[in-house]
Amino acid sequence: MSAKIRLYVEHPLGQGQSVHLTREQAHYLFGVMRLAVGAHVALFNGQDGEWLAEVVQAGKRGGELSCTEQSKPLQLPPDLWLLFAPIKKARTDFIVEKSVEMGAARIVPVQTEFTNSERVRQDRLQAHAVEAAEQCGGTFVPEVTELQRLDRMLDDWPQDRQLMFCDEAEVGSALRLAENKTGQPWAILIGPEGGFSEKERKRLAALPFAHVVSLGPRILRADTAAVAALTMWQQAFGDWS
Ligand code: SAM
Report pLDDT digits (tens) over 65-81.
Answer: 999 999 999 999 999 99
Range list for CATH 2.40.240.20 in the chain = 6-72
Q: Which atom of ligand 1 is nearest to the CA of 192?
A: 10
CA of 120 to the centre of ligand 1 (A): 21
Instruction: Give yes or no for residue 82 CB within 6 A of ligand 1.
Output: no
- φ and ψ at residue 194, rounded to 5 degrees: -85, 0
200 contact partners, CB below 8 Å, separation of at least 6: 112, 113, 150, 151, 191
**Can you tell me the distance from the alpha carbon of 48 to that of 73, in angstroms, rounded to the nearest whole number?**
7
Dump pLDDT digits (tens) for 145-198: 999 999 999 999 998 999 999 999 999 888 888 777 788 999 999 999 999 999
More confident position, 169 or 119: 169
pTM for the full predicted model: 0.94
Q: Which residue's CA is the nearest one to ligand 1's atom 10?
A: 222
Q: Which atom of ligand 1 is nearest to the CA of 171?
A: 23
pLDDT for 163 equals: 97
CA of 220 to the centre of ligand 1 (A): 6
Instruction: Give yes or no for residue 151 CB within 6 A of ligand 1.
Output: no
Q: Report the CATH superfamily, name and number, of domain 6-72.
A: Hypothetical PUA domain-like; domain 1 (2.40.240.20)
Instruction: Give yes or no for residue 21 CB within 6 A of ligand 1.
Output: no
**Mean pLDDT over the full length of the chain:** 95
Q: Are 84 and 95 in contact (CB under 8 A)?
A: yes
CA of 200 to the centre of ligand 1 (A): 14
CA of 189 to the centre of ligand 1 (A): 11
Q: Which atom of ligand 1 is nearest to the CA of 190?
A: 16
Q: Are 110 and 144 in contact (CB under 8 A)?
A: no
The CATH class of the 80-237 domain is alpha beta
- The DSSP bridge pattern shows strands 106-111 and 148-149 to be parallel
Residue 241 pLDDT level (bands cut at 50, 70, 90): low
Residue 114 pLDDT level (bands cut at 50, 70, 90): very high
- What torsion do the CA atoms of 175, 93, 130, 59 make, to the nearest 10 degrees? -160
